Structure 1
Amino acid sequence: MPLSAGLMENKKPLVALASFPGSGNTMIRRIIESLTGILVATNHISTQCSSSGFSFVIKTHATNFKAGGDDCKNLNVKSLNYFKAIYIIRNPYKAMLAEYNRSNKLQGTQIPLISNGTYFGERWKQFVEHGTIRWKETTIFWINSYKKPVHILFYENILKDRFREVYHLANFIGVNITFKSLLCTFSKYVEKEKRQFPNQAMEVDLFDIYDSGMRSKINSVIVSTMKAVYLKQLKNYILKENS
């Protein structure tokens, strides 16, 4: 189990754990905590300042290095000097659905069922329009604009081959691991923290919730992002525009 949020004995250089919302950041946080025994901090307005020394891996969805929250302001910390970064990439179709459901759940909004070929309505379409742009901007920022070492972690790969992906992740952040610590990444502590949504919301057919026009725009963004960051793997996220 992770330590409480006390000061680390030896302060480590900060590592950003960056992603577009809905990309599996919560699960990766718990995996890192299981490996290190140190809580992963969050760069958020309501949390303790991430540079206080209680953590060295900092969760962020931002495309900047600004330090958030009154605690950082009181400490006169204006920016976070990340030594390196982990960037989590997930299929944008699934990441946007996960984030939409998460935000609706927090707001207590009723998620409508599929009816007559429509899903979520106009609010959903607006969310996808803005989310698609943000997915591209976040990906390009952390892979191209951030000029320090970046470990790219595909969410789908962590599901397929966790041992291998966690091994490379641990090496990147400088953590010594054993077979026992690898097994801990399958513990209830990790699994119970994965986002839980109603089956109706997460087991839908993507073709039912993204119409051909939406798929065309998202596919275009995937292709342009792929060319910008030189990641051919992104082509696996493209959906047929005519179902």
Structure 2
Amino acid sequence: MSLQQQHHHRPPPSSPPHRTHALQQAMLAGGAEQPPSPPHEAPKGLRAAAAGGRGLELFRGGAGPPRRARLHWCRPLRFLATPGPVVALASFPGSGNTWLRYLIQQATGFYTGSVYKDYGLLKNGFPAESVVNGSVAVVKTHESGPGARAPFARAVLLIRSPGAAIHAEFNRQSGGHIGFASPDRYRRNRGKYWQDFVAEKLITWKKTNLDWLLHFQGPMHVVLYDQLVTNVEDELRGVLSFLDYRPSPAALDCALSRREGIYKRRRRALPFDPYTPAMRASLRRGEEEVMAALKGLVSAQAPTTVVSPTTSGPAPVEGCEDKCGR
């Protein structure tokens, strides 16, 4: 069974602290929300150049290929003036966490934090790396367990099909956020290296998603990656609504026009299928286990929002072909 297209808002068992519209309060503290303005200077030398449909500008050295990219922000990024509850943006690596952070920053103008300090991200659009408090809109984490969940009062859980997510993480570990693993990497040690990687990461994929689904006690909003790719606007609206933020039409239009960012891995078809039938069967069983847990929460608790169920196809064998930042 593939990931079904459905969302789940999980209410708290009692009445936990709400975000109390901290995002709107922060906007008010800085003045009324204005339509997106021309590009602004970002902190720590991160400059946003002239507006572009994809939200980036490539730097070129002479006649050579592009060397790096600039991100364009719809408004100057900043911290929330009135900190709210700490909100996790939890996912298994390779599930699109960086891309969703980027969309949130574009739509709100507020930084997103992280439990990590990725210097590549720090220098390219995410100056609040390693910030874990209510001054940022959400905080990225790939961790699970009581200690990992403890700092957070609310959570957004982003779930991607295990085959696609694991393949994306394999590419990231081999080639960076937008690079690829060479075909030789799959054949290393007569294929055992790749087989062990998939088996180990599938365990982690299940553990991460089940831990947040079954043990996180605060309000939670679940986003399915495939649905986010298919319907960016509605999915982003759902996340922003959970964060108690209502973007103006101009702000949302600006974010959507710059939806791509720079953390997009291009499609690359491998000359072979890296997943054997046995591996695909294991991935399918793991996916069904997580989806059963999600369906159980949807049926047991209210209010819930269920989008028209559809099925996603098998994990693309070429790996991460879209917004698959870690």
Into which bin does the TM-score normalised by the smaller protein fall?
A: 0.7 to 0.9
Within 1, Cα distance between the matches of 2:207 and 2:150? 20
Matched, 1:60 2:130: no
The residue type equivalent to 1:40 in the other structure is: T
Paired with 1:128 and 1:136, the residues of 2 have a C-alpha distance of 12
| 1:175 alignment counterpart | 245
Where does 1:72-151 land on structure 2 (aligned, <5 Å)? 81-106=151-176, 111-113=181-183, 121-151=191-221
Q: Is the 8 A contact 1:166 1:182 kept in 2?
A: no
Give secondary structure in 2 for the equivalent of 1:124: helix
Structure-2 residue corresponding to 1:19? 91
Q: Does 1:50 align with 2:120?
A: no
Q: Distance in 1 between matches of 2:204 and 2:112?
A: 24
Measured in 2, the distance between the counterparts of 1:96 and 1:228 equals 20
Identity %: 26
Q: Distance in 2 between matches of 1:98 and 1:157?
A: 17
Q: How has the CA–CA distance of structure 1 residues 49 and 221 changed in structure 2, closer, same or farther, with 3 Å as cutoff?
A: same
User: What is the CA–CA distance in structure 1 between the aligned matches of 2:136 and 2:146, rounded to whole Å?
Assistant: 16
Q: Provide the residue aligned with 1:28 in structure 2.
A: 100
What do the CA deviations read for 1:105-160 (whole angstroms, capped 9, x no partner)? 149x9833389xx7562211111001111111111111111011111111111111
The correspondence of residues 202-217 of structure 1 with structure 2, limited to 5 A, is: 203-204=269-270, 208-217=273-282
Gaps of 5+ in 2: 1-72, 119-128, 299-308, 316-326
Alpha-carbon distance in structure 2 between the residues aligned to 1:14 and 1:163: 24
- Structure with the higher helix share, 1 or 2: 1
**Pair 125,235 (structure 1): closer, same or farther in 2 beyond 3 Å:** farther
* Distance in structure 2 (CA, Å) of the matches to 1:194 and 1:45: 17
Secondary structure in structure 2 of the residue aligned to 1:12:
coil
Q: Is the CA contact 1:222–1:235 (under 8 Å) kept in the aligned structure 2?
A: no
User: Structure 1: which 5+ runs fail to align?
Assistant: 68-78
2:93 partner SS? coil
Distance in 2 separating the partners of 1:113 and 1:101:
11
CA contact (8 A) 1:104 1:111 kept: yes
User: Against the structure 1 CA distance between its residues 164 and 110, is the aligned structure 2 distance closer, same or farther, given a 3 Å change threshold?
Assistant: closer
**Match in the other structure for 2:286:** 221
What secondary structure sits across from 2:256 in the alignment? coil
Give a deviation string over 1:30-82, Cα, whole Å, max 9, x none.
1110122111101026754412x541410000103647xxxxxxxxxxx8531
Tell me whether 1:193 sits opposite 2:193 in the alignment. Answer: no
The whole-number CA distance in structure 1 between the counterparts of 2:201 and 2:239 is 27
Cα deviation code 1:158-193 (max 9, x no counterpart) = 1111111111111100112122222122244x4123
Per-residue deviation, 1:237: 6.0
User: In the alignment, residue 283 of structure 2 is paired with which amino acid?
Assistant: I
Q: TM-score, structure 2 length as denominator?
A: 0.59
Q: How many residues align?
A: 218
Identify the range of structure 1 (39-48 vs 14-23) with the bigger mean alpha-carbon deviation. 39-48
Which is greater in Rg?
A: 2
Structure of greater relative contact order (alpha carbons < 8 Å, 6+ residues apart): 2
Structure 1 residues 89 and 186: CA distance shift in structure 2, 3 A: same
